Amino acid sequence: MAAAVLIKNLQKSYGDVQAVKDISFTVEPGEIFGLLGPNGAGKTTTIRCLCTLAKPDQGKIEVGGISAIASPKAVRQRLGYVAQEVAIDKVLTGRELLKLQAALYHLPKSMIGDRIEQLIEVLGLQEYADKKTGTYSGGIRKRLDLAAGLLHQPEVLVLDEPTVGLDIESRMVVWQFLQELRAAGTTVLITSHYLQEIDALADRLAIIDRGVVIAEGTPSELKDKLGGDRVTLRIREFTSEEEADQAKHILESLPFVEEVIINSVQGNSLNLIVKSGQSSLSKIEQSLAEVELPTFSLAQSRPSLDDVYLAATGRTIMDAELAAASTRDLKKEQKQQMK
């Protein structure tokens, strides 16, 4: 069976900006696949190439074995696309927008009414369908856009940052819905710079940084590959530098501790990487007590996807976001997307 989505050695530049340098990944039928990376990593450009909105400079894109470059129309029919910024015509009602969408995908006229009714019901849009979309909240808009993307029963639903700007409740609604969608057999490709989202939803993911894939696998594969557990230790709520240094020396001598980092931003708390499967916490607490250092808080966890990103790039996604935010030319990017 052909992969639901196959992207191989994708390259795309806008002027002198190389948005995508070399991206390859495969989405299997029926899974939720996540593209994780900070803003500006090349996620949206990749999605635009997949959805035939942009022509790649180089590389292969296939949906269900059909080339997006050679047969864009067939690929458009197989994809549902939910853009990051939902573009809806404010003057139309939700139902009118869905009718337009149905015609654009050439649904048989006999089917259109029932199909729209079905999706309005499944997405809980009954009381909004006949109101103008200009009156919708962000969460309702997103639901309408999900309905529009699914109207033609696509094989793959592509969502670009589906929960950016949504309140927590709407975010949960979208997450739950995507899981129902997977259960029904639709393949889902989702981009996000939001770790928890990918961790909670994705069966498999690719982490993208500066236009290249730096890791691909299931969330637990990637975390296991990194090895060890993460321990966060606070000696006091606000620890002095001397005490933190002292604790660092003691902890580094423990056999199961691999690395200790003092996080000065978080009140000199200590971040440890320890061998997993050990009763590390009690031993840490004990060795601190021996030199009469208190323990304010102590927690052990498996590595997160952020740790995976950190290990590969030397910075956290948050750092990358902040760095990118200061150098991005959003206006220029918007111009490119208008093409």
Partner 1 sequence: MSQSISSSKIKSALAPNISISRQNSESSNSLGNFIQETLALTKRLFIQLQRRPSTLVAGVIQPFMWLILFGALFSKAPANLFGNDLSYAKFLAPGLIVFAAFSGALNAGLPVMFDREFGFLNRLLVAPLSSRYSIVAASTIYIIALSFIQTAVIVLASAILGAGLPGIVGISAIALIVFLIVLGVTALSLGLAFALPGHIELIAVIFVTNLPLLFASTALAPLSFMAGWLQVIASLNPLTYAIEPIRYIYGHGDWAINSIVMNTPWFGFSFGAVILVLLAFDALVLLAIQPLLRRRFA
Catalog residues that contact partner 1 under the rule CB under 8 A.
Answer: 51-53, 55, 73-74, 76-79, 81, 83, 85, 87-89, 91-92, 96, 99-107, 118-119, 121-124, 132, 143, 148, 150, 152-155, 173, 176-177, 180-181, 183-187, 335, 337-339
Q: For partner 1, which is the closer residue by CB, 125 or 207? A: 125
Q: Report the Cα 95 to chain-centroid distance in Å.
A: 29
CB of 63 to partner 1, least distance (A): 10
- The two three-digit tokens of residue 47, written as one number: 């999605």
Length of the chain: 339
SS3 for 221-284 is HHHHHHCCEEEEEECCCCCCHHHHHHHHHHHHCCCCEEEEEEEHHHCCEEEEEECCCCCHHHHH
CB of 100 to partner 1, least distance (A): 5
CB of 242 to partner 1, least distance (A): 54
Q: For partner 1, which is the closer residue by CB, 103 or 323? A: 103
- Distance in angstroms (rounded) separating the CA atoms of residues 304 and 312: 13
Q: For partner 1, which is the closer residue by CB, 7 or 173? A: 173
- Distance in angstroms (rounded) separating the CA atoms of residues 277 and 280: 8
Q: For partner 1, which is the closer residue by CB, 84 or 304? A: 84
Q: In whole angstroms, how far apart are CA 275 and each of 147, 229, 304, 307, 323?
A: 46, 6, 15, 15, 32
Cβ pair 97, 148 in contact under 8 A? yes
Residue 71: CB atoms within 10 A of its CB come to 15
Q: For partner 1, which is the closer residue by CB, 167 or 252? A: 167
CB of 124 to partner 1, least distance (A): 3
Q: For partner 1, which is the closer residue by CB, 104 or 325? A: 104
Q: For partner 1, which is the closer residue by CB, 112 or 312? A: 112
CB of 38 to partner 1, least distance (A): 22
Q: For partner 1, which is the closer residue by CB, 326 or 339? A: 339
Q: In whole angstroms, how far apart are CA 196 and each of 34, 47, 212?
A: 11, 21, 21
Cβ pair 328, 19 in contact under 8 A? no
CB of 181 to partner 1, least distance (A): 5
Q: For partner 1, which is the closer residue by CB, 87 or 168? A: 87
CB of 25 to partner 1, least distance (A): 20
